[in-house]
Amino acid sequence: MGTRSSTAEITVGSKNADIKGNDGKAIQAAIDLAAIRHIPGVRVKKGIYGCKNTIMLRSGVKLSGEGARTVIRREPVRKSFLIRNVNHYERAISVQHPGLFEPGDGVTIRGVWSKTRESAAVHATVIGKDGHVLFLDKPYIGENFWLEVGPAKVSTLVPLVRGEDVEDILVQDLQVDGNIPVTGMEAGCGGGIYLKNCRRATIRNVYSHNNNGDGIGFEISDDVIVEDCLVENNMMSVHAGSGSLRMCVRHNILRKNRYGFFFCWGIQQGLLENNEIRDNATYGVSVGFEDSHNVIRNNRITGNGEVGIYFRGGHHPGQSPCDDTAEGNVIENNGPRNNAVAVKISSTSDDIRITGNRILENRKGRKSTAILIEESVRKVFMEENEIKGFRKDVVDCRTLLSKSVSRGKQK
């Protein structure tokens, strides 16, 4: 291992910078160089940096900008159908319109997995082409895309910034512009920042918007901090993905996305605190699939289209959320005109605590419920909630109410 450089950072910019350039390749070169020379930081100067591939983060390297003046922007997305089957051991694909792609492009192959007929996706980089054939950087593709099972296509829709199998990273003080209409979920593909199998990662003061996927997403990643970010006009705002432990998401504004904050699958010991979560098309906060020991505290959750906080089920009843707490939040004016619900607890959710919240409905002429508990829900504890303006404060559909709920004192 080489010795650590005395240089604190490498700069990137169109002029007066260590690495001169105005695209993702220049930023990637700086990150790779910093990792090799053990330089702790890369600073991207103000400007717009067009990206045709994912910027890959490296362990121990801090990526910083100069605030909203530093813009990492996705180049226009190009798409083409595959014209022959792909087997999992191959490293090349044949496409209908090869002229849309060039070496260096990041691509996603998306189709139907041959065994289960479920959606499958693979990321790669184009390293060469010959006629209709694109050669990829992967030693093997790893999935079967058989056209008789279902159509498959390749696109340049890849995450803008990605960390995989890295640790001790920081992304801060920059803008991530997905530059595409929000039309449908492209999980892990069309996102702004995406982390997988990372440890000790911080995302701070980032403006992530216009992503047809997650504004900020992570999975199987521990001790992730997301703070002081503005996340808007994405398919999903912040996505705490499968198996992540001890995440902390605080002091952010999550607004005008299709989906608000999403606890995905097996999120444990997470903290969602002091965020403004408003005007998202569906829910403000969703908690579900084996999510446990999480705290949702002191957030302002307002104006979301379907429900403020939703404790949902998993694929099977036994996979519902357990031992989760919502406390000290302001939950105001959420839900549709004819059936507004502030907090919905469903499936077999168990040991759910709703305490010390202000649950408010200020709109006129609404058929509204503050807290809705479905009949299959198990234990719920409610205490010291201030509930105002609702037609019904609590609708509990369970038959054994006295055995399954502790109400405490409500205001």
Query: How confident is the model at residue 407, as a pLDDT?
Result: 57
Cα–Cα dist 355/373, whole Å: 15
Query: How confident is the model at residue 114, as a pLDDT?
Result: 67
State which H helix or E strand residue 298 sits in: none
pTM over 0.85, yes/no: yes
Answer for the pair 323, 300: CB distance below 8 angstroms, yes or no: no
The four Cα atoms 50, 56, 60, 66 give a dihedral, to 10 degrees, of: 10
Q: Taking the domain 9-73+158-406, which CATH number applies?
A: 2.160.20.10
**Quick check: helix, strand or coil at residue 203?**
strand
Cα–Cα dist 170/193, whole Å: 12
Answer for the pair 372, 345: CB distance below 8 angstroms, yes or no: yes
Burial of 16 (0-12, 13-18, 19+ CB in 10 A): exposed
Cα–Cα dist 328/104, whole Å: 49
Cα–Cα dist 407/314, whole Å: 26
In angstroms, what CA-CA distances link 166 with 33, 56, 63, 337? 16, 10, 13, 46
Cα–Cα dist 70/72, whole Å: 7
**Quick check: helix, strand or coil at residue 401?**
helix
Query: How confident is the model at residue 1, as a pLDDT?
Result: 33
**Single-letter amino acid, residue 115:** K
Angle at 50 between CA 48 and CA 52, to 5 degrees: 165
Q: In the structure encoding, which two tokens stand for residue 195, read together?
A: 């982390």
In angstroms, what CA-CA distances link 123 with 70, 71, 105, 119, 143? 26, 23, 11, 14, 11
Answer for the pair 261, 281: CB distance below 8 angstroms, yes or no: no
The four Cα atoms 231, 119, 220, 324 give a dihedral, to 10 degrees, of: 70
Query: How confident is the model at residue 189, as a pLDDT?
Result: 62
Answer for the pair 231, 256: CB distance below 8 angstroms, yes or no: no
Q: In the structure encoding, which two tokens stand for residue 98, read together?
A: 């090869």
Query: How confident is the model at residue 113, as a pLDDT?
Result: 73
Burial of 32 (0-12, 13-18, 19+ CB in 10 A): middle
Backbone angles phi, psi at 27, to 5 degrees: -65, -45
Query: How confident is the model at residue 364, as a pLDDT?
Result: 81
Cα–Cα dist 117/23, whole Å: 37
**Single-letter amino acid, residue 290:** E
Query: How confident is the model at residue 118, as a pLDDT?
Result: 75
User: In sequence order, what are the residues at sequence separation of 6 or more whose Cβ sits closer than 8 angstroms to the Cβ of residue 231?
Assistant: 207, 208, 209, 215, 216, 237, 238, 252, 253, 254, 255, 257
Query: How confident is the model at residue 316, as a pLDDT?
Result: 74
Nearest in space to 153 (alpha carbons), one of 78, 53, 80? 80
| Per-residue confidence in pLDDT tens, the chain, 411 aa | 334 445 799 999 999 999 999 999 999 999 999 999 999 999 999 999 999 999 999 999 999 999 999 999 999 999 999 999 999 999 999 999 999 999 999 999 999 876 667 788 899 999 999 999 999 999 999 999 999 999 999 999 999 999 999 999 999 999 999 998 776 655 446 789 999 999 999 999 999 999 988 999 999 999 999 999 999 999 999 999 999 999 999 999 999 999 999 999 999 999 999 999 999 999 999 999 999 999 999 999 999 999 999 999 877 777 899 999 999 999 999 998 778 899 999 999 999 999 999 999 998 877 799 999 999 999 999 999 999 999 999 999 996 544 445 555 566
User: What letter does residue 147 receive in the DSSP assignment?
Assistant: T
Query: How confident is the model at residue 6, as a pLDDT?
Result: 52
Strand pairing partners for 239? 217, 262
